[in-house]
């Protein structure tokens, strides 16, 4: 069932309940259902229906949620795009992943190229509760569990965009399990303090609407408004390095928060203990955009398979660790437009993105040891080094570059670039950061920069990432930090 139909049911039963609380105001369930139906009709009127791809690039989180629900209601697949992309980058990505319609709010001087259409979501965010309304979606096409119902770009999409696409079953089928594990239901106020372009936060907001809760969507980390949000929030979705700030505020003013759903890097035992003292239950989970939920830790005793998920750790003789494989109904279908990425699926329906863990047997705790493909976990984002390297190699004066993760006490790791200078003098850090800002998302931009006269290489001539990372960690004096 499209989530919009669940929103319609909530609108019928509780029309004045706040569905979305966004920077532009509050939107009731009746108002959300009404605007979703209007936007879906507008799409269908332009021939956008079953099987079409709708690229959504909207900065306002409430507008984005309306567009997502409308696209799915019309039978199209919503593709969530980052509204901060510059025009050149946006066009390059749309060339690689062509959409049937683009819903955005471009400046007047930015024409839509290549014959693709652009639309705006009808109306602005309605402030205040709407009158009682029971929407009738009479023209809604039949929905199938195998329909493509959600697509987003995985962390690290740059010159080689990777748009992960999910079926309706893999997207919404896990909602009841999350509701049961986290205890989130119709009476909750769910704080989603991050960009909905992230699969973690996008999923959280749509799940809240599906169950009839109030989704508080500031669209970013609400530094100044966090205390006010915590006064009313009963649940929060957050990445590990943000949870301590939440707990700091709860220590001053306990608020109503009772549940924290934490996705991303490992959560320290001390943080979980602090949460318990504040009266907050923590549900930590491990997953990936391509795999969705894989394992969850509900009690601090370790990760165990998420409901309906099977886990294998495939080891090779003589190796202490192996690759994590999962089989479940929640797996993504793959990448749009033939995009390449870390997702691999075997003939028996098992999938992996290259994560590494200690040997595992059914019934045991899953002990993760990192990414086998060199991907960097920084905060709640996954950064693929090759994508960052591809952009940085274009910087004047850079002969070659290796990107690795360096330990960080709060973020887990930070992106670190080691340059092989083209000549005796490396480019300045300011020049490199300008290139990074022009072609990389915030999470991808290196925070630490180094230069070396010559990068170590494999017999095939490729930079030896593992060796350079080990040299850096060992304090090799030949690797000079750029300031």
What pLDDT is stored for residue 125 in this prediction? 34
Q: What are residue 259's DSSP bridge partners?
A: 235, 281
The CA distance from 209 to 72, in Å, is 14
Q: pLDDT tens digits, the chain, 483 residues: what are they? A: 789 999 999 999 999 999 999 999 999 999 999 999 999 999 999 899 998 999 999 999 999 999 999 999 999 999 999 898 888 888 888 888 989 999 986 333 333 333 344 444 444 333 233 333 344 455 556 678 888 999 998 754 344 568 999 999 998 999 999 999 999 999 899 999 999 998 899 999 999 999 999 999 999 999 899 999 999 999 999 988 789 889 999 977 778 999 999 986 567 778 899 999 999 999 999 998 899 999 999 999 999 999 999 999 998 777 677 889 999 999 999 999 888 888 899 999 999 988 888 899 999 999 987 666 677 878 777 787 878 888 898 888 888 889 998 888 878 889 999 998 766 678 899 999 999 998 898 889 999 999 998 888 754 456 777 778 878 888 888 899 998
Rg for the chain (alpha carbons), in Å? 23
Place of tokens 């997207």: 171
- DSSP code string of 404-418: EEEEETTTEEEEEEE
Length of the chain: 483
| CA distance to 11, 60, 463, per residue, from 460 (Å) | 61, 48, 9
Interatomic CA distance for residues 180 and 238, integer angstroms: 18
Burial of 364 (0-12, 13-18, 19+ CB in 10 A): middle
**In the structure encoding, which two tokens stand for residue 84, read together?**
């901060």
Contacting residues for 336 by C-beta, under 8 A, at least 6 apart: 53, 79, 97, 151, 163, 164, 165
CB-based contacts of 101: which residues, under 8 Å, 6+ apart? 43, 46, 48, 52, 53, 54, 55, 76, 116, 117, 118, 119
160 phi/psi in degrees, rounded to 5: -120, 80
Sign of the dihedral through C-alpha 63, 65, 71, 74: negative
**CB burial readout 176-209, b (16+ within 10 A) else e:** ebbbebbebeeebbbbbbbbbbbbbbbbbbbbbb
Token pair recorded at residue 79: 């593709």
> How far is 234 from 481, CA to CA, in rounded Å?
45
DSSP secondary structure string for all residues of 315-350: E-TT-S-EEEEEESTT---EEGGG---S-EE-TTS-
Distance CA 13, CA 134 (A): 8
- The 8-class DSSP code of residue 366 comes to B
Under DSSP, is residue 38 helix (H, G, I), strand (E, B) or coil? helix
- Residue from 39, 48, 99, 89 nearest 69 by CA: 39
* Secondary structure class of 36 (helix, strand, coil): helix
Distance of CA 80 to the CA centre of its chain: 10
CA dihedral (292, 170, 201, 289) in degrees, to 10, reads: 40
- What's the token pair of residue 182? 């986290």
Q: List, in order, residues 6 or more apart from 236 with CB less than 8 Å away.
A: 190, 191, 192, 193, 230, 246, 257, 259, 260, 261
Which is it for strands 281-288 and 292-297: parallel, antiparallel or unpaired?
Answer: antiparallel
> CB under 8 Å to 406, separation ≥6 — which residues?
413, 414, 416, 448, 472, 473
pTM of the model: 0.77
Tokens of 130: 């709407």
Residue 120 burial (CB < 10 Å; 0-12/13-18/19+)?
A: middle
């Amino acid at each position: 069932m499209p989530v919009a139909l669940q929103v319609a049911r909530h609108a019928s039963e509780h029309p004045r309940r706040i569905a979305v609380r966004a920077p532009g105001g509050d939107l009731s369930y009746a108002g959300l259902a009404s605007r979703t139906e209007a936007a879906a009709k507008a799409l269908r009127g332009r021939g956008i229906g079953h099987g079409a791809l709708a690229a959504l690039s909207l900065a306002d989180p409430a507008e984005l949620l309306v567009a997502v629900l409308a696209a799915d209601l019309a039978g199209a697949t919503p593709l969530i795009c980052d509204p901060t992309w510059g025009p050149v980058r946006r066009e390059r990505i749309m060339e690689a992943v062509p959409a049937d319609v683009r819903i955005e709010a471009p400046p007047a001087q930015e024409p839509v190229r290549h014959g693709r259409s652009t639309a705006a979501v009808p109306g602005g965010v309605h402030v205040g509760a709407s009158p009682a309304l029971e929407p009738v979606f009479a023209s809604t096409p039949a929905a199938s569990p195998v329909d493509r119902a959600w697509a987003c770009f995985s962390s690290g999409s740059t010159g080689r965009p990777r748009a992960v696409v999910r079926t309706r079953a893999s997207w919404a089928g896990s909602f009841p399990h999350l509701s049961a594990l986290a205890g989130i239901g119709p009476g909750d106020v769910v704080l989603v303090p991050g960009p909905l372009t992230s699969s973690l936060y996008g999923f959280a907001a749509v799940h809240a609407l599906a169950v009839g809760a109030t989704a508080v969507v500031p669209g970013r980390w609400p530094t100044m408004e966090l205390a006010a949000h915590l006064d009313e929030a009963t649940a929060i979705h957050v990445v590990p390095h943000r949870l301590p700030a939440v707990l700091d505020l709860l220590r001053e003013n306990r608020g109503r928060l009772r549940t924290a759903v934490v996705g991303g890097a490992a959560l320290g035992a001390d943080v979980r203990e602090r949460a318990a003292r504040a009266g907050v239950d923590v549900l930590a989970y491990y997953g990936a955009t391509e795999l969705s939920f894989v394992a969850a830790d509900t009690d601090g005793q370790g990760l165990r398979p998420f409901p309906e998920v099977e886990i294998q750790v495939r080891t090779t003789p003589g190796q202490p660790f192996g690759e994590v494989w999962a089989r479940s109904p929640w797996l993504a279908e793959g990448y749009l437009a033939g995009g390449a990425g870390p997702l691999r699926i075997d003939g028996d329906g098992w999938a992996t993105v290259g994560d590494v863990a200690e040997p595992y047997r059914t019934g045991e705790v899953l002990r993760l040891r990192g990414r086998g493909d060199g991907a960097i976990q920084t905060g709640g984002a996954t950064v693929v080094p090759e994508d960052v390297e591809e952009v940085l190699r274009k910087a004047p004066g850079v002969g070659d570059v290796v990107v690795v993760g360096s330990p960080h006490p709060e973020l887990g790791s930070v992106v670190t670039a080691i340059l092989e200078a083209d000549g005796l003098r490396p480019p300045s850090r300011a020049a490199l950061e300008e290139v990074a800002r022009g072609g990389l998302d915030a999470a991808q931009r290196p925070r630490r920069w180094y230069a070396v006269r010559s990068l170590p290489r494999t017999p095939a001539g490729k930079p030896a990432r593992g060796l350079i990372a080990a040299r850096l960690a060992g304090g090799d004096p030949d690797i000079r930090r750029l300031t």
